Chains A and B, each alone.
Chain A
Amino acid sequence: MSEFAGLGANLGMSTGMIPITAPPETPKLPPREWVKANLFSSPFNSVLTVVASIIILAITRGLMSFIFNPQRQWDATATNLRLLMTQAYPEEQYLRIWIATAVVFTLTGLSLAVWRAGSAVPLSDVGRRLLTFGGTIALLVLLAPFSVRATIIWLVVAVAVAGGGEALRRLVDDERTMSTLGILLIGLSGLVGSLWVIPYGNHTFQLHRTPRVLAEPGTVALTTKLPWTVMLLVAVAAYFLGIFIRERLPTNAPRITLLLLWLLMPPTLLYLVLRDPSFDMGHVLGTDIPIFLVYAVLGGALLNWLARPSTGEIGRIVAALVLVAAFAAFLTPMRMIVRLDMLVLAAFALAAPTFSGGPRARKNYVIGWLGFLGIMSWLVTAINTPSTVKVPGQFFIGGLSLTLIVAVFTIVISFPLGLALALARTSNMPIFRLLATWFIEFVRGVPMITILIFFSIMVPLFLPPGMHLGEVAAVIIGYSLFSAAYLAENVRGGLQSVTRGQHEAAEAVGMTTSQKTVFIVLPQALRISIPPLVGHCIGVFKETSLLAIIGLFDVLFIARSVMPNQTEFMGSTKENVLFVSLIYWIFCYQMSKASQRLERRTGLGER
């Protein structure tokens, strides 16, 4: 461990929370020599410097005059922020959005604390960053087409920032450090604080014959300043709660609980909080809960017996019979939930020998079954219950929320699928391997937009009469299949890097193939493939923009096709799309930075 960490440090990676040997100090050159060494070391280099500075100045100048051109309608984005975030989610139900956000923030705060995120930065470094930041602002201000007064005000701000940084750098001794989380908190507080001061625009959503957004001057800050302040406080409180938990409880239990909560969060927020299903209690009590109870009790007993090591072969035969029964049940007309439960029970029964063991292992396995069954039953019930949120159009929420929902669900669904495909492709069973290979190669050879078009318009064709699938659901299924093929290739790289010795050792201990895969191979393979998997997640998030082509109301569609058609903001596409690209950029850049930090902290890239 330590030698790998040292290797990471020597390659110029900076230190994380785990103390690793510091990189050799690069001697700090005085400014004049630094300029000479880095910019004018040779005639060719000097020419390059001049050319590069001209390019940089031209780009910056162009960008600034584009942004601050008086013709730009930045009001369009400011006024339509709510539309961009949630489309036409009804005003009176908006509390649901805030609750959902609060849940996300709480989990984030808890996780940050429990996983000890963030690192300590010397205050002098912060000072240097501020100095550079102030300098950049000053440069931008000088290049922007501002009035004299605005230029002077901004210059004063820039000089103040730079001066603060310089003061911090000079006055504070080198030993004082600050947490990166603290810096983040200061930044976010500044942002939230600005909501109370700066008017960002306002809108009203009008539900007439053609629903549309009417803009009026005012402040979005009026409607969001309080919620955002509460969100920030919730996150901070959750962080301190997390620290309390971290100090009092053993490490693993809170982490596993949190992971489960993260996994449960998307369906819960979408189907219970945001969609607000109006449950028919009579039906739930009379049908759904009894079915669940029957399966819970009988299935639990069966699994408990199957997971007993002494059960032996009889258990396998019974499990195979359950599978046959499940398929027979699936082909007979019954309630869908009964058939699905049976299939899941068969899968659990087949997997039981892999997880067999003492009373404790059996208890865990049965609890897993109960949890899975419960969540699945509840989800199926919730999905099939009509929503109280009435929104014109197809799906009850749109904008950035839809983008995030599709991205998260796609990743969650495609993960097990991709894992199965990767295992099948690397297995030594020819039919599995062939099917997986053909599927993966086919999907990877075809552009995503054709698959999305196929799923958005063709799925109704393939469904039996009487069965319905919303367009968003169909698209998520298609997107998951697409993403699973790519994910499988990423995981395959990890699977292939697990050495032969690991396989052989596992077999020597007497593990079955499935035990070897689940307990030995997969954990190692997944650990290695974390960096490409994060890259894959970024890709999935970026490609959700393709939803705009098939006409779903994602953030890009609203920015490109809805907002420029409002009478007040005719032809504001450029501004809106630039804003959307900023949103995407912030998300993707942060994710890629986070994955680099993770790689550095765990030394993943080095082994």
Chain B
Amino acid sequence: MTAPTTHERAHQRVPLWRDVIVLKWVAQVFLLVVVLSTMFFLATQAGDNLRARNIVSTFDFLERPIDIQLSEGIDTHPDTGARALWTGMVNTLRISVAGIFFATLLGIVVGLARLSDNWLVRRLGSMWVETLRNIPLLVQMIFYFSVLTTLPRVGLGTGPINGWFHISNKGISMPRVFIADGFYQWLMVVGVGAVAAHYVRRHRQRIQDETGAMTSPILWGIGTVALFGLIGIFVHPMFTWMGGIFGAIADLLDSLPIIAPQILFSVVALGVAARWISRFLTDHRSVRGHLSLSDDDWFRIAFAALASLIIVFVLVRWTGFSSWTLNSGRDLFHVLEDKFNVDGAARPFDAMRPDIIQKSRFPNYGKNGLTMSIGFAAVFFGVVFYTSAFIGENVRGGILAVPKGQSEAAMAVGLGRGQVLRHVVLPQAIRIILPPTGNQYLNLLKNTSLAVAVGYSDLVQIGQTTYNQTGMTLPVVAIWMLFYLSCSLSISVVVNWFNVRMKLVER
């Protein structure tokens, strides 16, 4: 085929049914129509069926009283559906955060153990990984749960270390350190210390940059904060006057009309979304001004716009929310006022040992200690052990992926073993470790939903009880999905932020 003929052909009108572009768009629109009509069909069908059963799916149940008794959480007798679900969300988040923290620690230990020079430690590490990751998490959780439930009953003089550490069929109880009355004044002192630490760190950094001497600026910064914290234990009553300011703010909020927060929050939501989108667009514009956006970007933009519109809608339609923010804002500042107005002799921290009380026939844990119920313990150990096996593999893979020449070169320059690890191997390994570990965090969050099998009151379990009582299955499922989606999105945003930071370090 010679060049002119192809050229001529390109100029010939392509019939419609052969034009690739037309065909592609026809196929796409066709699929879109099929998907949309299927969804429409299913939705109408569901509406018909619900009407036939006399069920009206609304979110009213959120504000109605509900008869539910929770085993643990911020509120064991929630008065409305919304409060119950909120308790579940807090429980889910609580166990997820604790799980992520301990799974990371344990995972690092496991990963390092598998790389150890010591044959026995290596075997122990691989036994841990191969056993735990090949047994379903749910099976593990149920096993821990059934072991914990058959533990001996809690007694007045029992526990591995009586008075300090108790394990029984009511759970695990241990000493608790908690924040006491003087905490908020103390926090102010620490805040001042943080500002001071910032300047100290900058100063030390400048000296290091100028002279080349090792001044360890970060250590100095941390030391400054610690010093202020230590001093703050004795001098914190000097911030008592802050209470008056918070009281004044509370009174101001009391006098505001409801329309004020509505307008304020709407403007803020719209403004933040608009600013975010415009910044996003400028970030994605190339030097010549071309804009190329991937689907994920479109998804993000649409999501941001939609989210702000939803917020505005909720604010305007549902005055309960605005009055709620107003009320709770006032309450918050009243609470802060009370916190700051406490007696100057209060301590910022306090600790208590677990106690066992006997109200009726059987003794039970009191409120003093930090008590893990067996449901919580089963989910917690299950999630932590299971995820640690996967994180351990990520850590191992990441460290192995750093070429051996890197550490050899560093040692040849004269760095010590610890320095090699800290300055050469880890910064490179962490870039490989982080993305899959972020995925594991997501999995951990989603896996806490298995708590429903061991009776820990997480969102799914409370949701189940709620829809069994009210019949509002669709709304509850929608709330579940929204909650988990937004949590997943938040975690992936955080992990991506770290990823980007790590990439900058590379340059």
Contacts and interface: CB of A to CB of B under 8 A. Distances in A.
Contact of A458 (B17, B150, B442, B473): B473
Contacts of A585: 131, 134-135
Interface in B119-172: 119-121, 124, 130-131, 134-140, 142-143, 146-147, 150
A49 B134 contact: no
A596 B226 CA distance: 50
Contacts of B140: 581
B31 A453 contact: no
- 9 shortest A-B CB distances, which residue pairs? A588-B134, A38-B119, A445-B488, A447-B446, A431-B28, A447-B449, A573-B146, A545-B136, A542-B136
Interface stretch (B45-53, B315-323, B357-365): B45-53
A267 B147 CA distance: 39
Interface stretch (B69-77, B212-220, B279-287, B476-484): B476-484
Contact of A445 (B18, B118, B142, B489): B489
B295 A430 contact: yes
Contacts of A430: 28, 295
Interface string A427-448: 0011111110110011011111
A423 to B, nearest CB: 13
Contacts of A444: 488
B46 A433 contact: no
Given A438-B299, A450-B477, A450-B480, A549 B138 contact: yes
A429 B485 CA distance: 26
B378 to A, nearest CB: 11
Interface residues of B, number: 59
Contact of A437 (B46, B139, B299): B299
A543 B298 CA distance: 33
A538 to B, nearest CB: 8
A453 B477 contact: yes
* A contact face: mostly helix, strand, loop, or mixed: helix
A580 interface: yes
Contacts of B135: 542, 581, 584-585, 588
Interface stretch (A19-27, A110-118, A393-401, A461-469): A461-469
Interface in B1-38: 15, 17-18, 20, 24, 27-29, 31-32, 35
A52 interface: yes
B453 interface: yes
Contacts of B450: 449, 546, 549
B452 interface: yes
Given A445-B485, A454-B477, A549-B452, A573 B142 contact: yes
Contacts of A581: 135-136, 139-140, 143
Contact of B17 (A56, A317, A461, A463): A317
A463 B49 CA distance: 8
A460 interface: yes
B296 interface: yes
B23 to A, nearest CB: 9
Interface string A455-491: 0011011111100000000000000000000000000
B460 interface: yes
Contacts, number: 158
B45 A463 contact: yes
Nearest to B15: A313
Contact of A49 (B118, B130, B481): B118
22 contacts: A48-B116, A53-B120, A313-B15, A313-B17, A317-B17, A430-B295, A434-B295, A441-B299, A445-B489, A446-B480, A447-B449, A449-B452, A450-B449, A453-B464, A458-B477, A461-B50, A549-B453, A574-B147, A577-B142, A577-B146, A581-B135, A581-B136
Nearest to B34: A327
Contacts of B42: 462
B482 to A, nearest CB: 9
B484 A449 contact: no
Q: Which of B49, B50, B489 has the most CB of A within 10 A?
A: B49
A41 interface: yes
Interface residues of A, number: 64
B446 A446 contact: yes
A464 B45 contact: yes
A317 B18 CA distance: 10
A283 B307 CA distance: 56
A42 to B, nearest CB: 8
Contact of B146 (A441, A453, A574, A584): A574
Given A464-B45, A589-B130, A450 B139 contact: no
Contact of A429 (B28, B124, B480): B28
Interface string B349-360: 000000000000
Given A49-B120, A442-B481, A450-B481, 9 more contacts: A313-B18, A445-B485, A461-B50, A542-B134, A548-B138, A556-B139, A560-B142, A577-B142, A585-B131
A48 B489 CA distance: 41
Contacts of A429: 24, 27-28
A545 B118 contact: no
Contacts of B46: 461-462
A532 to B, nearest CB: 12
A45 B118 contact: yes
A578 interface: yes
B506 interface: no
A319 to B, nearest CB: 11
Contact of B120 (A56, A432, A441, A449): A56
B118 A52 contact: yes
Contacts of B116: 48
Contacts of B31: 431-432, 435
A380 interface: no
A122 interface: no
A545 B473 CA distance: 23
A342 B109 CA distance: 59
Interface string B265-307: 0000000000000000000000000000001101100000000
Interface in A376-435: 429-435
A255 interface: no
B484 A445 contact: yes
A549 B454 CA distance: 10
B147 to A, nearest CB: 6
Interface string B435-478: 00000001000110110110000001000100000000110010
A580 B446 contact: no
A55 B446 contact: no
B99 to A, nearest CB: 14
A460 B120 CA distance: 55
Nearest to A448: B446
A432 B27 CA distance: 9
A298 B452 CA distance: 54
Q: Which of A49, A445, A538, A584 has the most CB of B within 10 A?
A: A445
B32 A435 contact: yes
B210 interface: no
A545 B481 contact: no
A39 interface: yes
Contacts of B49: 460-463, 465
A571 interface: yes
Contacts of A317: 17
A592 interface: yes
A441 B15 CA distance: 38
A441 B302 CA distance: 14
A128 interface: no
Contacts of B460: 447, 449-450, 453
A464 B142 CA distance: 38
Contacts of B136: 542-543, 545, 556, 581, 584
A449 B449 contact: yes
A56 B295 CA distance: 51
A165 B122 CA distance: 25
Contacts of B296: 437
A39 B119 contact: yes
Contacts of B28: 429-432
A592 B142 contact: no
Contact of A41 (B45, B117, B442, B452): B117
Contacts of A48: 116, 118, 120-121
